[in-house]
Amino acid sequence: MVTGASSGIGAATARRLAAEGYDVVAAARRKDRLDALAAECDVRPVVLDVTDEASVQALAGSLETCHVLVNNAGGAFGLEPVETADEDAWRQMWETNVLGMMRVTRALLPKLEASGDGVIVTVTSTAGHGVYEGGAGYTAAKHAETAVSETLRLELCGRPVRVVEVAPGMVATEEFSLNRLGGDQARADAVYAGVPGPLSADDVADCIAWAATRPWNVNVDLLVVRPRAQAAQYKIHRETTS
């Protein structure tokens, strides 16, 4: 089960897990994107809104079993400082990133445990392990996801469910920065300008699949993955052209 599977990391993860032999449920809000994904690889497309409890419960009820859950649905909206914060944007980030993760995990946990070796992979961000100006809303949401993952691992200790956090750094996907910057393509492109080899969605999907396919006794608590050009949130190598 992969949430946020209509594009970017979610779509790449659905493709990769299908290639690994999983029966993949690819869930997201945009049915047309899901149908296109299902046409290119063997996944089951299901419309899901993680901010809607009824939608989450309907999906959970439609599944007989669940061995792997990838909590990927989320996003960043805006770069305003706290002084001029957009409350609606903050609420949207909290609803999708944090409460969405909670709703889906809560709904599928009985099936994950019943599988005998359930795996919950939550895609957070290096923003969940550091802060930067203009990022308070997003970093707060991602720090919360990290805290939920760590707490869940404690709560499930002794039960047959592994809890994994994958925290990517700079990933160049078609929509992340564009959504964050209100559709401004030029500003979105500038985020990755001059960066040699930012991560791709496939790079992150590779990490997710690796963590999910470890033996039953191996738990990858936290996997931080950045491109070589990014040494830290603030330290990014950019090449210039004359």
231 domain residue, yes or no: no
Q: Do the domain assignments include residue 199? A: yes
Q: Is 240 a domain residue?
A: no
Q: Does 241 reside within a domain? A: no
Is 234 among the domain residues?
no
Q: Give the span between the Cα atoms of 62 and 83, in whole angstroms.
A: 44
Q: Phi, psi (5° rounding) for residue 128?
A: -85, 0
Model confidence at 175, in pLDDT bands (50, 70, 90)? low
Q: What is the pLDDT of residues 182-230, one digit of tens each?
A: 777 887 788 888 999 999 999 999 999 999 999 999 999 999 999 999 9
Determine the length of the chain.
242
Domain annotation covers residue 124: yes
Q: Which of the residues 22, 138, 192, 234 is marked catalytic? A: 138
Contacts with 212 (C-beta within 8 Å, 6 or more apart), sequence order:
17, 68, 70, 119, 121, 164
Count of structural domains within the chain: 1
**Residue 120 sits in a domain of what CATH number?**
3.40.50.720
Q: Tell me, yes or no, if 22 is annotated catalytic.
A: no
How far apart (Å, rounded) are the C-alpha atoms in residues 71 and 123?
6
| Tens-place pLDDT, residues 73-121 | 999 999 999 999 999 999 999 999 999 999 999 999 999 999 999 999 9
Band of the pLDDT at 33, cuts 50, 70, 90? very high
Q: Is residue 236 part of a domain?
A: no
- pLDDT for 35 equals 97
**Cβ(135)–Cβ(191) below 8 Å:** no
Burial status of residue 150 (CB atoms within 10 A of its CB: 0-12, 13-18, 19 or more): middle
Give 35-66 pLDDT, tens digit per residue. Answer: 999 999 999 999 999 999 999 999 999 999 99
Domain encompassing residue 139: 2-225
- Tell me what the mean pLDDT of segment 21-30 comes to: 97
Sheet of 2-3, strands arranged across: 43-47, 24-28, 2-3, 68-71, 118-123, 161-168, 222-225
Q: Are 234 and 169 in contact (CB under 8 A)?
A: no
Number of H helices, E strands in the chain: 9, 7
Instruction: Report pTM.
Output: 0.95
| 242 inside domain | no
**Among 128, 125, 141, 215, CA closest to 176:** 125
> How high is the pLDDT of residue 177?
64
